[in-house]
Structure formats: C-alpha cells, structure tokens
Chains A and B, each alone.
Chain A
Amino acid sequence: MNEMANSIRTGPDDRGHFGIFGGRYVAETLMPLILDLEQHYNDAKNDPAFHAEIEDLNKHYTGRPSPLYFAERLTEELGGAKVYFKRDELNHTGSHKINNCLGQILLAKRMGKTRIIAETGAGQHGVATATVCARFGLPCVVYMGKTDVERQKPNVFRMKLLGAEIVPVTAGAGTLKDAMNEALRDWVTNVDDTYYLIGTAAGPHPYPEMVRDFQSVIGKELREQMMEAEGRLPDALVAAVGGGSNAIGLFHPFLDDKNIKMYGVEAGGRGLQGEEHCASLTAGKPGVLHGNRTYLLQNDDGQILEGHSISAGLDYPGIGPEHSWLKEIGRVEYVPIMDTEALEAFQMLTRVEGIIPALEPAHALAYVTKLAPRMDKDQIIVMNLCGRGDKDVFAVGEMLGFDL
C-alpha cells in the first residue's frame, strides 16, 4: 500500500461521496449547473493564477495569516495542556467566513456570473458575502430567516450598508434551513446569471470539497506556525461545528497525522434529551437534505427538526458530509456543549485573556476547559477562535440581565 491509499485526505470520490455521505441530491434543473460548477472548480484548482489571486486577497484584504496565540493565562488557569488559539476572529469581517467567500467570488467571476445569492443564519456568512460582493461590484441577495432577521439586527444593517438586498424568509420556522431552501428556490429560478455562494462545507458536491479547500488555509498556516512556535505539531485540535466549515478547515490538513486528536464541538443547546439542541452528529441520524447525505436532526417520519442553540451560527439541523464520515470512521470525536457552558466560557475568555469570542467558538472553548486539565503540561491544544463576539454582545447582555 502506498501513502495515498492510507490517506483519509483524498475524498470525496468523483461523485462527491465521503463514504456513504455527501453526493448530489438536487432537482434536475440544478444538476447541469452543479456539474458545470464542478468543472470550473476543477479548472480553477489547477490554475496557479487563481491561487495567487486568493493568496493576495487573503494577505492584503483579510489580513492573513491569522496569528497563532499562546493563551498563557488561560493555560495557567486550566492547569493542564498548553492552549493556543488560531485567531481567525481577527480576519476582516470578524470570522473565518471570509476565507470561503473570497475563493467562491473569484470562481463566480471566472464563470461569468453576474448575480450572487447566499443564505445566512447569524448573519456572519451574509456579511462576508455582502463584503466580497461590494469588493467585486456584484449585486448580492441574502436569504435570511425572519426569526434571524429579528434577532440579528446589527448584521442585517451591516449587509444593507454593504449594498446587499436582504430577503426575510417566512416559510417554516424562519431560520437557517428555511433560508437555504429559499436560496435554492432562487437558484433554480435564475439558472443563467446567478451564483449560489454557500456558506458552509455542506450542500451538493462540489460545495463541501470546495468550501473545505478554501477554509483549509487555517490548518495549513497552523502547521507552519506551530513548527515555528514549538518545533512540533499539536496533540489536539478543537473547533466548533455548526455546518462545520471552520472545523474542517482546521482539521483537514492534519487528518493523516494520526497522533493528533480532533474534537468537533456541537451545540448541545438545552440538553440532548429533547429537541432543543443542534447536535446532529451526537443525536441525529443519516438523511438527505440540501443536496447531501449527512447526519440530520429529524423525527421518525423523516421530517427535519428545527433545533436550538444559543448561538445562531450553530443553529442548523445538518452538518457537512465530511464530518459525518469522519465521525463514522472514528477519526474525529464530536462532543456536545450546552448553552450554559458556552455562556460561561464566553465570559471566562473575556476576563482571562481580554478576548471577546463569538458564541460559536465559546462552545469550542468550553470543551477546551474540560480537555486541557486532563492532559499533561507538555501537551498542546490548538483551538480555532473562529469568530469575534461583537455580534453577540447584545444577546449575551440580555441573557446576563444587563440593560443595554
């Protein structure tokens, strides 16, 4: 067996499958578009000019590489493994979402598309999409559940300032999955000029692969930075998973480094017993939605559930298909963190390190506070600090009883 045969980084196969997961489950109207997208992405992947343009934008527009930061005080406080943060919250627009949006907008331009659509939950992907559309002068329509429009007003205003049109979606419960349905309805209607810029490593092939590739800049940078900082690779990686794009971006470059443990942290919401969580991998089962087979929160009849999380960015009943596969083969461990634990971690990081995290990485951090004390002092954990907390300050204030 050669090295490639042993690698778990070679997926998906040519039909977009990671094991049984992934694939292309879309209406016939969209099939030719998805095949066309795949063709263009494969061409772009092999074009050095495409990569050079992304690298240039990553450096000068986003501010990459994002720093690798040793959280000294937190490490002391936890009394175990050394904790590092990959600081993607310092990116332009405040999260890892921009990494993917820049890659896809360049692809849309290559394809000659003249109109961009996107879905958004918390609004981070919507803001990043509206940002790159402003940067490249393309009209942008963002679908956002009506419930989310109401609870994420600052991001709605940001998107409007950036020139995007926001379409509130009233179907269903008016959250992220309904926004994604509506974006798909737009795409199936506007097949000639429109590019659908999906925000996470899910959806029909080639999106999970493509989004992962654009987000893998996180893990690639980390490998170099870690060697520089410690002269060796970390022992554990931790990232929050909603759809799973920041996590797959962190994990993927290290999947074949068998000694590195990986933890994907899901939104446990108010507990896994009822339906008020978004832990699709821990408490869901395989199904087909939004173009891919993956773990989903669903009832026995195959109806998709809405889920709940304190963090709107984790509030999605599915998960990228590669994560489903990594769970099945046991390469990554997926663990739930409750709303209350995330809220505590949010406050702790603010106090101990002077960094206000978004509620999404606050979930990852809550798991780090459990993991680090169980590890030796000479071991290393790297957590992806994938978003900053500005957007969450008002919601957290309300939960903590501050009158803002």
Chain B
Amino acid sequence: MTQTRIDRRFKACADAGRPALVTFITAGDPDLDTSQAILNALPAAGADVIELGMPFSDPMAEGIPIQLANQRALAAGQTMEKTLDMVRAFRKQDQETPIILMGYYNPIYVRDPVKFVQIAKDAGVDGLIIVDIPAEADDELCIPALDAGLNFIRLATPTTDDKRLPAVLANTSGFVYYVSVTGITGADIADTGRVADAVNRIKGHTDLPVAVGFGVKTAEQAAVIGKDADGVVVGSVLVNAIRDSLDETGKATDRTVQAVADVVAGLAAGCDRARRS
C-alpha cells in the first residue's frame, strides 16, 4: 500500500522524537456546530491524529463519559451523514491531519459496508476502528476498507496472546491500537510497566506503530506511556471537558471549544516530554 496520511503522520512524529497524540471526540457532541468547531481546533491545539466517534445507541465498550457523549450527540440529531459532512468540512481547512472514524459496526452495516468505505474515503476519512468486528470477520469490512484505500486499525488487548496476535495483525494497517486494560474506555491504568511490556511484545510482531489507549488521562501518563508507545490515545478526558463546559440545560457554552483545546494542549506537552528524560 502507498503511504497514507496516517503513515506519514506517525513517521513525522517519530522523526520529531515524540509519540503521536491521538485525540478522540464523538461527532455531534454536544451539537453539530460545536463539534465541528472542536474538530477544526484539534490540530492547532496539538492533536496529531483524530479519532472521530460515530455515535451509536449501544456503545458496549465505552465507560460512562463516552456513553454520555454518544447520548448527547444522538439527542442533538447526529447521523452518519452529518458525521461524514464534518469530515468534508474539516478537509477544506486541513489536508494533512489524519481522521479515523471509530465506532460500532451496525451503522455501517445498514448502509452496505462496500458502499460506505468508498463514501468515507471520498469524504476525506483515512481509517476505521470498529470495536465489534474481530479479525475473524475481516472479509466483511476490513478487506473492503483496505481495497478502498482506507487504513483498518485493529485493537489488540491484554487478552490477545502471542498465539492470536498474528491473526489480529494480519490485515491491520496504519497503526496498532493497544488497549491498555481489560475493560472499558475511561478505566484506570493500573500498571504502566505492564503496558510498556505489552507494547514491546506487539512490536516484536509488527513494524507498524503502536498507539496505547483506554485510560490515559493526564500529561504525566502520556509522558510515561509515550516513552515506549508510538502514539498515545486520549478520549474520555476530552469528552469530560466537553461535559464540564456545558450549561445546566446541557447546551454548549462559549467555553466549550477552548476547554477541549486546553486539555489537548496539556496532553501534547506531555507527549513532547516523553522521550526527553
């Protein structure tokens, strides 16, 4: 496969001697316009790669913060078409920052996966992370996505042992997303030493960059995890910043966009420190 925006961005970060900061927000949270403004503000705040969550009614792998973000977005009328429109609008201002759509299979399945991956590619999407479609079902979505020129980023977890890892990595491209805990998003990372061991174990099986997510909340954690990982994924802490900025009726305020940008800037500083000590 030719170099993708994701490949180029991870290489640029590696060349700069730091892990990539991968930021997750839910599309349409808390409303379409505010979410677009947050998305557009992410690169300048320090995001290297963007994961844009496709809202789903039943986000089984998410903790409370991202569950609520999904509910806020759907309540505000978010749909897959609007999410793709957000990507199209973003691409008018930014041609370099990779966007990965992250979410669950059903909203893609009902649209026909083969058609969907082409529409997503044309909208300016670079990759997909779909939580509930394992390697065993690669023929349904992963292969069509690769054929359309999208990266398909697979999750590896603490339960993915060395025997299973090759199957999980087989069609993975862009990077490998290591889930730092057995659990849901926003959980607490118990032991950063074990995360480092796992990252290095995965690197023994692949040349792809390895990013670590689920539970990274602070710049300090980003700095520690970023010593070994090629990327640090943050999500719950950003959607919590959105939630905390809302008024009592749950509407966005003039603080909302800046609140997210501030958290991203702090985490980016943590990534910058990762390899300096």
Chain B, 77-115, contact with A by CB distance < 8 Å: what is the 0/1 string? 001100000000000000000000000111111110000
- Is there a chain A Cβ closer than 8 Å to B160's Cβ? yes
Nearest-Cβ distance from residue B57 to partner chain A, whole angstroms: 4
Q: Which of A3-11, A129-137, A285-293 lies at the interface with chain B?
A: A285-293
Nearest-Cβ distance from residue B51 to partner chain A, whole angstroms: 16
Residue in B106, B111, B134 whose beta carbon sits within 8 Å of that of A26 in the complex: B134
Nearest-Cβ distance from residue B194 to partner chain A, whole angstroms: 15
- Is there a chain A Cβ closer than 8 Å to B168's Cβ? yes
- Is there a chain B Cβ closer than 8 Å to A399's Cβ? no
**Which residues of the other chain, B, contact A32 by a CB distance below 8 angstroms?**
159-161, 164
Q: Which of A39-47, A82-90, A226-234, A297-305 lies at the interface with chain B?
A: A297-305
**Which residues of the other chain, B, contact A26 by a CB distance below 8 angstroms?**
132, 134
The CA of A27 and the CA of B64, in the complex, are separated in Å by 17
The CA of A28 and the CA of B60, in the complex, are separated in Å by 12
Q: Do the beta carbons of A28 and B157 come within 8 Å of each other?
A: yes
The CA of A176 and the CA of B125, in the complex, are separated in Å by 35
- Is there a chain A Cβ closer than 8 Å to B257's Cβ? no
Chain A, 191-217, contact with B by CB distance < 8 Å: what is the 0/1 string? 100000000000000000000000000
- Is there a chain A Cβ closer than 8 Å to B44's Cβ? no
Given A189-B182, A301-B79, A303-B74, answer yes or no on A29-B158 (Cβ-Cβ < 8 Å).
yes
Q: Do the beta carbons of B56 and A27 come within 8 Å of each other?
A: no
Nearest-Cβ distance from residue A89 to partner chain B, whole angstroms: 32
Nearest-Cβ distance from residue B223 to partner chain A, whole angstroms: 26
Given A28-B160, A289-B106, answer yes or no on A304-B57 (Cβ-Cβ < 8 Å).
yes
- Is there a chain B Cβ closer than 8 Å to A69's Cβ? no
- Is there a chain A Cβ closer than 8 Å to B144's Cβ? no
The CA of A184 and the CA of B59, in the complex, are separated in Å by 10
**Which residues of the other chain, A, contact B109 by a CB distance below 8 angstroms?**
286-288, 293, 302
Nearest-Cβ distance from residue B70 to partner chain A, whole angstroms: 10
**Which residues of the other chain, B, contact A33 by a CB distance below 8 angstroms?**
159
Q: Do the beta carbons of A29 and B159 come within 8 Å of each other?
A: yes
Q: Do the beta carbons of B132 and A288 come within 8 Å of each other?
A: yes
Nearest-Cβ distance from residue B4 to partner chain A, whole angstroms: 22
The interface residues of chain A, by DSSP majority, are classed as mixed
What is the number of residues of chain A that contact chain B, defined by CB distance less than 8 Å?
Answer: 39
- Is there a chain A Cβ closer than 8 Å to B133's Cβ? yes
Q: Do the beta carbons of B136 and A31 come within 8 Å of each other?
A: yes
Residue in A28, A293, A301 whose beta carbon sits within 8 Å of that of B179 in the complex: A28
**Which residues of the other chain, A, contact B60 by a CB distance below 8 angstroms?**
27, 181, 184-185, 290
B183 to A, closest residue via Cβ = A189
- Is there a chain B Cβ closer than 8 Å to A188's Cβ? yes
**Which residues of the other chain, A, contact B71 by a CB distance below 8 angstroms?**
171-172
Given A172-B58, A191-B159, A303-B56, answer yes or no on A31-B134 (Cβ-Cβ < 8 Å).
yes
**Which residues of the other chain, A, contact B157 by a CB distance below 8 angstroms?**
27-29
**Which residues of the other chain, B, contact A391 by a CB distance below 8 angstroms?**
none
Residue in B55, B61, B108, B168 whose beta carbon sits within 8 Å of that of A185 in the complex: B61
- Is there a chain A Cβ closer than 8 Å to B155's Cβ? yes
**Which residues of the other chain, A, contact B158 by a CB distance below 8 angstroms?**
29, 191
- Is there a chain B Cβ closer than 8 Å to A177's Cβ? yes
Total cross-chain contacts (CB, 8 A):
119
- Is there a chain B Cβ closer than 8 Å to A25's Cβ? yes
Q: How large is the interface on B (under 10, 10 to 19, 20 to 34, 35 or more residues)?
A: 35 or more
Q: Do the beta carbons of B154 and A287 come within 8 Å of each other?
A: no
- Is there a chain B Cβ closer than 8 Å to A15's Cβ? yes
- Is there a chain B Cβ closer than 8 Å to A23's Cβ? yes
**Which residues of the other chain, B, contact A185 by a CB distance below 8 angstroms?**
60-61, 63, 183-184
**Which residues of the other chain, A, contact B164 by a CB distance below 8 angstroms?**
31-32
**Which residues of the other chain, A, contact B107 by a CB distance below 8 angstroms?**
301-303
- Is there a chain B Cβ closer than 8 Å to A323's Cβ? no
**Which residues of the other chain, B, contact A27 by a CB distance below 8 angstroms?**
60-61, 131-132, 134, 155, 157
Centre residue among A28, A32, A172, A286 by max chain B CB count within 10 A = A28
Q: Do the beta carbons of B106 and A28 come within 8 Å of each other?
A: no
Q: Do the beta carbons of A302 and B160 come within 8 Å of each other?
A: no
Chain A, 237-257, contact with B by CB distance < 8 Å: what is the 0/1 string? 000000000000000000000
- Is there a chain B Cβ closer than 8 Å to A24's Cβ? yes
Given A27-B155, A32-B161, answer yes or no on A302-B110 (Cβ-Cβ < 8 Å).
yes
Which residues, 270 to 290 on A, are CB-close (under 8 Å) to B?
285-290
The CA of A172 and the CA of B135, in the complex, are separated in Å by 29
B80 to A, closest residue via Cβ = A301
Q: Do the beta carbons of B61 and A304 come within 8 Å of each other?
A: no
Task: Apart from A25-B133, A27-B132, A171-B71, list 20 A-B contacts with CB within 8 A.
Answer: A15-B136, A26-B134, A27-B157, A28-B135, A28-B159, A31-B134, A31-B159, A181-B59, A185-B60, A188-B182, A191-B158, A285-B110, A288-B106, A288-B132, A289-B106, A301-B110, A302-B56, A303-B56, A303-B107, A304-B58
Residues on A facing B (Cβ under 8 Å) = 15, 23-33, 171-172, 177-178, 181, 184-185, 188-191, 285-291, 293, 296, 298, 300-305
Could you show 25 A-B contacts with beta carbons less than 8 Å apart? A25-B134, A29-B157, A31-B135, A31-B136, A31-B159, A171-B64, A172-B57, A177-B58, A178-B58, A181-B58, A181-B59, A184-B60, A185-B61, A185-B63, A188-B182, A189-B187, A191-B159, A287-B106, A287-B109, A287-B110, A289-B58, A290-B58, A301-B80, A302-B106, A304-B106
